[in-house]
A and B are shown apart, each in its own frame.
Chain A
């Protein structure tokens, strides 16, 4: 009679333990995020540090962003044309491609790709630096690793994310143009003019840009925290890298819903 009760209690204890652990971790992450902001002075004063990281997070992510953007745009063009031509409004395909990209797919898909390409790399690098005592060594040399290693990577990620999202959207529009205008033969003039008249700078482009800024902060904050918080072992670093990609992806999608609700409600 006692045994099942003891088992139930231990299960409840286990759940409680995990919840408390998760809350603690969230608290640690928030404090770490504030610490990074607080110690960003060095990165701003010595901007060369950020530019170096911009190369690793931004420039090296370009290929995957450009290629994916092109294909996503091409698929949008094909699917959009397929549906729109049923209603005889295939010239609106330009508007469809541009709006889908600028409002949603550009920021979201670029952020997902960015999390798996650059976010995981940031986590792995910081985690390995910790595991090989490089961060401790830096502290012993009286150089704060948060200011010198973490903050430049954070700011580089925050800066590159909106730029990558913009490039993604541009490549997507170009991909849509390739498929619908050049291959299928939709009228070029109406493709562009409909897009121009229906895409609003403030409502569509600016809101998309704001979204990608939020995603940039979220992804890089998660990536640097996971790296800095990872256990200094091989399994620890690999686990942290996986968590970066999974958590960032979920956060991106969740944030996207919230931001969209604020931005496009009733429009």
Chain B
């Protein structure tokens, strides 16, 4: 497999108002790799995807995609770059006023001059890849959560992107849909030779499919490695996260004054 670097993230910082979200993040992602970015809710994972897609600008540092610094691109160059990227949103973000077929055809109609009969064939092929060719005439409102996610997946690979980003692709899915989506992400990454980034907190499903894992905690990379490294890691944060322990470096309790003091029991017990 080609080991050429597709994404290079160098000393990336990002703050929102006065809140620092990412602090000095460094990452490299090679072509054809399937990478998971894990971390608790609000740890800055989704922000990282937005920075790669150029939806927000870093406070300092840069993200390079195939050699180009994303935040230095002008609007046209950025849109050109985005045509080579696909993004799967948490709940699919299907266009509710378009049918499944038209959703998948959307980018082909917007960005290419393909004939309608060619588009029809391509759309049916994409839908076939996610197992929903038979559902092409349905509207998004008629789909289950898992099906909507699969349609959105077919839509995001419509133009065969070189980079796919998945924002929490496993959230709110039943076990069957969950392994279906997981399997699809792995298969499509290999078949299309694209780089895929999954932002997730679903440990078991993602460790079974990805090539490399980054853990983000409080805006810094807490640990990284292959799934096997991670499973055996003794680093306290990784251990807590992978095994889902309630207390550890990530405390169960929100910072507060002493419990007894809050209940006014100090004097009574003294």
Chain A interface (Cβ < 8 Å from any Cβ of B): 125, 128-129, 132-134, 136-144, 148
Contact = CB atoms under 8 A, between A and B. Distances in A.
B96 A140 contact: no
Given A133-B89, A140-B85, A143-B110, 4 more contacts: A125-B97, A128-B96, A129-B95, A143-B107
A141 B89 contact: no
Given A137-B87, A141-B82, A142-B79, A132 B106 contact: no
Interface residues of B, number: 20
Contacts of B110: 141-143, 148
A140 B80 contact: no
Interface of B: 53, 55, 79-80, 82-83, 85, 87, 89-91, 93-97, 106-107, 110-111
24 contacts: A129-B95, A129-B96, A132-B91, A132-B93, A134-B93, A134-B96, A136-B55, A137-B87, A137-B89, A137-B93, A139-B82, A140-B53, A140-B55, A140-B82, A141-B82, A141-B83, A141-B106, A142-B79, A142-B80, A142-B82, A142-B111, A143-B110, A143-B111, A144-B79
Contacts of A139: 55, 82
A133 B79 contact: no
B104 to A, nearest CB: 12
Contacts of A134: 93-96
A142 B73 CA distance: 14
Contacts of A128: 96
A138 B93 CA distance: 9
Contacts of A148: 110
Contacts of B82: 139-142
A132 B96 contact: yes
Residue picked from A129, A134, A136, A144, most chain B C-beta under 10 Å: A134
Report whether over half of chain A's contact residues are helix, strand or loop; otherwise say mixed: helix
B41 to A, nearest CB: 17
A136 B111 contact: no
Which 10 A-B pairs give the minimum distances between C-beta atoms? A137-B93, A142-B82, A142-B79, A133-B93, A140-B87, A142-B83, A133-B89, A143-B110, A134-B93, A141-B107
A138 to B, nearest CB: 8
A136 B93 contact: yes
Contacts of A137: 87, 89, 93, 95
B71 to A, nearest CB: 15
Contacts of B95: 129, 134, 137-138
Nearest to A139: B55
A196 to B, nearest CB: 45
A132 B140 CA distance: 12
Most chain B CB within 10 A, of A128, A137, A140, A143, is at A140
Nearest to B53: A140
Contacts of B91: 132-133
Contacts of A144: 79
B106 to A, nearest CB: 7
B5 to A, nearest CB: 22
Nearest to B88: A137
Nearest to B158: A141
Contacts of B55: 136, 139-140
A133 to B, nearest CB: 4
Contacts of B79: 142, 144
Contacts of B94: 134
Nearest to B111: A142
B85 to A, nearest CB: 7
Contacts of B93: 132-134, 136-137
A136 B96 contact: no
Nearest to A143: B110
Contacts of B89: 133, 136-137
A182 B89 CA distance: 62
B109 to A, nearest CB: 9
B195 to A, nearest CB: 16
Contacts of B107: 141-143
B90, B91, B110 — which one has the most chain A CB atoms within 10 A of its CB?
Answer: B110
A138 B107 CA distance: 9
Contacts of B111: 142-143
A132 to B, nearest CB: 6
Contacts of A136: 55, 89, 93
Nearest to A53: B97
A157 to B, nearest CB: 16
B86 to A, nearest CB: 8
A129 to B, nearest CB: 7
